[in-house]
Chains A and B, each alone.
Chain A
Amino acid sequence: MTEPAASASGAVQPVVAAERVAHQVRRRDPVPVSAFVCIAVVGSIALSVMNGSYLGLQVTTGVGYAVVTVGMVLQLGYSRQLAFSQSVFMGVGAYGTAILETKYNFNSAESLLAVIALATVVSLLVGSVVTRAPGLALALATLLLPLFIYELATFSTYLGSFAGISGVLPFWNGATYEQELVRSGIVSVVLLGLATGLILRVMRSGIGLQLMAMAEDERLGESLGVSLRQRRLEVFVLGSVLAAVGGAILASAQGLVTPDVLSESAEITLLIMVFVPGRKSVTATIIGAIVIEYLTTSTSFISTNLSTIEGVVLILVLIVEPDGVAGAVARLLGRRTDRWAAGLRAAAAKARARGGGSRAGDAV
């Protein structure tokens, strides 16, 4: 056993994390699968209990956002890829689903698969050019996208102008609206589980290590033999496809698509959902996305003062703890476990001193 106290200091942490990741690659990693099972089971039970209530709809919408934010954890938090195109790809998912279902009579499963394929192709195309640009140029390019795509959607009659497109099918039909909502919600939760498992798998693999090295220093990563462009592109595509899936979930939960999903404020909401809970923690952003969606749609005080609250919380989080609420919790827990460990060691030392080492096993 190494000393747990050592992992508390900030400088040592990446190294320790890297070692831990490298260690896990060698064996079969149970975490992604168990995360999938956990999310699917807990989410399904929770949605069944809510039984198609308004709360159920809010949670399902939150799950849609959560799928997007899970991708953003990899993109923004983990790889520090400054792309602000998630709302655009949510739009690809949502509008794609709506158009395929209302105009071409696809069913919901077909349209979901088609949308994933579409998002992959589009993000490959966009990504292969966008990711050539490093850092700020990438940010600028992806900031331009929402600017004109939003206007395109509001003017285009094919995309339903301001009213958007209604009549999007639920993922899973049911006899009543409530049943439909519960069933679609369960499908959404399963999709969230899959997304989480996938992202965790990537983050905990050798590729995850490469991404971490790139995020620290691109040149360092390159000198270590990381193929920068390919990794950047992969991250971009993965983030974009998940955003599209999230968009499809939103569309099917609400039964309609409006240009709002493409607007700057949608992107702002997403960024808040990632940065406030903790941009490096998948768990935190899932919980955060659902909670923030719930808060913004159910409390009138929050929804009227939304931007003030978001701004203050964002600034406070960044100053106090750049890794968000998750970082703060981890730090508090770490401090506490350190204290426990120190207490145990002290007790063990005392026991050893008293019993001549024979009772040192107590401490374990």
Chain B
Amino acid sequence: MAAAAAAAEGPDPGSVALEVASVSVNYGQFVAVESATFSVGAGECVAVIGPNGHGKSSMVTAVAGLVRRGGTVRVFGTALPVGDPRAAVRAGLVLVPERRHLYPQLTTRDNIMLGSYSHTRRVWARQAWAEVAGVLDMFPELAPLLDQKAGTLSGGQQQMVALARGMAARPKILMLDEPCLGLAEVVTHRVYDWLGAMTATDMTIVLVEENPVHALRVCHRAVRMYRGLVEQPAGEAGPDGPGPDGPGPDGPGAVSA
């Protein structure tokens, strides 16, 4: 895995992986995200917490380019065009969406294989699968389910497929939107154990989670969204601040559990 390869170096504290500057999202008259500004350092795991309906999901889907947005999003310094999810995926910014959004009539194998769609050069599905089959090492429980239609899997299994599909996209930055929504306790533990393992690699993780207790088990710090605004931790808050908080990763003022 690309992510695992460089894991030995550990996160480089100097580089900023994801930089979100005054991102806003409107649905008609309704303002879902007013102005979200935060940045995530390479290798960091940041939780986005906040109550339901305060724009967390809208913010990450906008960052991934799925809905129209204002503001700028930079991935390792390169600005992403608005409304082009392909550019985000190619830059290594991958979203595992809320409620999974799998392809229920396709097999588990195809679901995972299509994660690699943006970078595979293969014509035949079989070859494309061979390239990404390695992700099964992380999710051994999916191996017997490969030929089953994704729609027939249980909620927990589907979540694993969604994670595997996300990993097949070779993310440098993985955004997970409520990965444990409506899942059993056992599955939640499984997902968080996996996330914990991922934080040890140099992959950058943005985790949207309503429940801060869960999130802070694995995350280095958290940003809180309230009424469409990202609330910066006390230390670095304030409109006079230098926009993107450069040395973000080491900010000790993060919400502490």
Contacts and interface: CB of A to CB of B under 8 A. Distances in A.
A358 interface: no
Contacts of A30: none
Contacts of A9: 28-30
Contacts of B29: 9
A9 B30 CA distance: 10
Interface in A2-29: 9-11
Interface in B37-92: none
Interface in B5-40: 28-30
- For chain B, the bracket of interface size reads under 10
B125 to A, nearest CB: 28
Contacts of B30: 9, 11
- For chain A, the bracket of interface size reads under 10
Interface in B115-150: none
B173 to A, nearest CB: 32
Contacts of A10: 28
A16 to B, nearest CB: 15
A9 B28 CA distance: 9
Nearest to B29: A9
B31 to A, nearest CB: 13
A127 B28 CA distance: 41
A9 B29 CA distance: 8
Nearest to A9: B29
Nearest to A8: B29
Interface string A97-136: 0000000000000000000000000000000000000000
B137 to A, nearest CB: 38
A76 B28 CA distance: 27
B104 to A, nearest CB: 15
Contacts of B28: 9-11
A335 to B, nearest CB: 13
A223 to B, nearest CB: 16
A10 B29 CA distance: 10
B27 to A, nearest CB: 8
B58 to A, nearest CB: 15
Nearest to A10: B28
B26 to A, nearest CB: 12
A10 B28 CA distance: 9
B253 to A, nearest CB: 38
B233 to A, nearest CB: 34
Interface string B172-183: 000000000000
B45 to A, nearest CB: 35
A10 B30 CA distance: 11
A11 B30 CA distance: 10
A194 B29 CA distance: 41
A222 to B, nearest CB: 19
A219 B28 CA distance: 28
Contacts of A11: 28, 30
B30 to A, nearest CB: 8
A11 B28 CA distance: 10
B140 to A, nearest CB: 34
A9 B26 CA distance: 14
A11 B29 CA distance: 10
A11 B32 CA distance: 14
A7 to B, nearest CB: 13
A189 to B, nearest CB: 42
A254 to B, nearest CB: 48
A303 B232 CA distance: 67
Nearest to B27: A11
A9 B31 CA distance: 13
A6 to B, nearest CB: 11
B108 to A, nearest CB: 25
A51 B103 CA distance: 63
B227 to A, nearest CB: 18
Interface of A: 9-11
Q: Which 6 pairs from chain A and chain B are nearest by CB?
A: A9-B29, A9-B28, A10-B28, A11-B30, A11-B28, A9-B30
6 contacts: A9-B28, A9-B29, A9-B30, A10-B28, A11-B28, A11-B30
